[in-house]
Amino acid sequence: MKILLDTHLLIWFFGGDEQLPLEARELIADEKNKIYYSILSVWEVEIKHKSHPDRLSMTGKRFLNHCEKLGFTQVPLSLEYILEVKNLVRRENTPRHRDPFDRLMICQAIVEGMTFMTHDARIAEYVSDSIYKI
pTM: 0.94
Measure the CA–CA gap between 16 and 83, rounded to whole angstroms. 35
- pLDDT tens, position by position, for the chain (134 residues)? 999 999 999 999 999 999 999 999 999 999 999 999 999 999 999 999 999 999 999 999 999 999 999 999 999 999 999 999 999 999 999 988 889 999 999 999 999 999 999 999 889 999 999 999 98
| Helices within 6-134 (DSSP H only) | 7-15, 22-29, 39-51, 60-69, 79-84, 100-112
Domains (ranges, CATH) in the chain? 2-133 (3.40.50.1010)
